[in-house]
Structure 1
Amino acid sequence: MMVKVLRLIGKDAGNAPGLVLWTLNKDCLKAFKVECPIIAVTGTNGKTSVTNYLNHIFTSGDKKDLKIITNKQGNNLDTGICSLLLGECDFHGRVKADYLVLETDESHVPVIYSKLKLETLVVLNFFRDQLDRNGEVETLILKVKKFLETYEGNLVLNADDPNVARLGLANPNNKNVHYFSVERYSGATDQPYEVGEGKYCPFCNSKLEYEYYQYSHIGKFRCPNCDFGSARPEVVIKDVDLQAPSFVIDGEKYKPSHNSIYYIYNLGAVYTASKLYNISKDVLHDTFEHFEVNNGRLEVFEVAGSKLLVNLAKNPVGANMTLRVMNEHPGEKELLFVLNDNLADGHDVSWIWDINFSVFKDVTRVVTSGSRAYDIAIRIKCSGYDPDKIVVKPDLDRAMESFFSTVGDKFAIANYTAIQPTRAAIRRYKEGTEDAND
Structure 2
Amino acid sequence: MSLKSQLAKFTAQSSHFILHDVLKRGGTSLPGKLAVTIDPDVLNSVAADFDLVVVTGTNGKTLTTALITRVLKAGGYSVITNPSGSNMVQGIAGTLLTTPIQPSPNGKKPVAVLEVDEANVLSLTKAIKPKYFVLTNLFRDQLDRYGEIYSTYQKIIDGIHQAPEATVITNGDSPIFARGDYENRRLYYGFDNVKEADYQDLKAPNNTDGILSPTDHSVLHYHFITYANLGKYFSTTDSFVRPPLDTAVTEIDKLTPKASHFAIDGQKMAIEIGGLYNIYNALAAYTVGKAFGVNPTDIKAAFEENKQVFGRQESLKIGDKDLTILLIKNPVGTNTVIDMMETEKDPFTLIGMLNANYADGIDTSWIWDAEFERLHDSQLKAVMTGGERYKDITVRLKMAGFDIKETFPKTESIIQAIKKAPTDKVYLTATYTAMLQVRAVLKEKGYIKEEF
For the aligned pair, the TM-score class normalised by the smaller chain equals 0.7 to 0.9
Residue 33 (structure 1) shift: 4.5
Letter of the 1:242 counterpart: K
8 Å CA contact 2:329–2:360 kept in 1: the answer is yes
Matched, 1:179 2:194: no
2:113 is matched with: 101
For 1:250-399, list aligned pairs within 5 A: 250-360=265-375, 361-383=378-400, 385-387=401-403, 389-399=404-414
1:201 is matched with: 213
Q: Secondary structure at the match of 1:59?
A: helix
Q: Secondary structure at the match of 2:342?
A: helix
Which runs of 5 or more residues in structure 2 are unaligned? 1-9, 102-107
Give the one of 143, 146, 160 matched to 2:173. 160
8 Å CA contact 2:140–2:148 kept in 1: the answer is yes
For 1:104-183, list aligned pairs within 5 A: 104-149=116-161, 151-166=164-179, 169-172=180-183, 174=184, 176-183=185-192
Give the one of 64, 71, 75 matched to 2:86. 75
Which runs of 5 or more residues in structure 1 are unaligned? 91-95, 433-438
- C-alpha distance in 1, partners of 2:156/2:164? 10
Relative to 1, partners in 2 of residues 1:348 and 1:207: Cα closer, same or farther, differing over 3 Å? same
Q: Secondary structure at the match of 2:326?
A: strand
Letter of the 1:12 counterpart: G
Matched, 1:84 2:95: yes
Letter of the 1:161 counterpart: S
Aligned identity (percent) is 28
Matched pairs, number: 417
Letter of the 2:59 counterpart: N
1:407 is matched with: 423
- C-alpha distance in 2, partners of 1:88/1:427? 23
Residue 413 (structure 1) shift: 0.7
Residue 426 (structure 1) shift: 4.3
Relative to 1, partners in 2 of residues 1:291 and 1:119: Cα closer, same or farther, differing over 3 Å? farther
Relative to 1, partners in 2 of residues 1:146 and 1:343: Cα closer, same or farther, differing over 3 Å? closer
8 Å CA contact 1:40–1:102 kept in 2: the answer is yes
RMSD, aligned CA: 2.7
Matched, 1:423 2:432: no
Deviations 1:92-134 (A, max 9, x none): xxxx961111111112112211221211110000111111122
Relative to 1, partners in 2 of residues 1:402 and 1:147: Cα closer, same or farther, differing over 3 Å? closer
Q: Secondary structure at the match of 1:404?
A: helix
Letter of the 1:210 counterpart: Y
- C-alpha distance in 1, partners of 2:182/2:69? 28
1:436 is matched with: none
Deviations 1:252-284 (A, max 9, x none): 211222231111000110001110011122221
8 Å CA contact 1:353–1:379 kept in 2: the answer is yes
Residue 165 (structure 1) shift: 2.6
Letter of the 2:86 counterpart: N
8 Å CA contact 1:184–1:212 kept in 2: the answer is no
8 Å CA contact 2:267–2:296 kept in 1: the answer is no
Residue 418 (structure 1) shift: 1.2
8 Å CA contact 1:334–1:363 kept in 2: the answer is yes
Q: TM-score, normalization: structure 2?
A: 0.85
Residue 185 (structure 1) shift: 7.2
Identify the range of structure 1 (13-22 vs 210-219) with the bigger mean alpha-carbon deviation. 13-22
Identify the range of structure 1 (32-41 vs 411-420) with the bigger mean alpha-carbon deviation. 32-41
Letter of the 2:394 counterpart: A
Relative to 1, partners in 2 of residues 1:394 and 1:97: Cα closer, same or farther, differing over 3 Å? farther
8 Å CA contact 2:312–2:326 kept in 1: the answer is yes
Relative to 1, partners in 2 of residues 1:42 and 1:243: Cα closer, same or farther, differing over 3 Å? closer
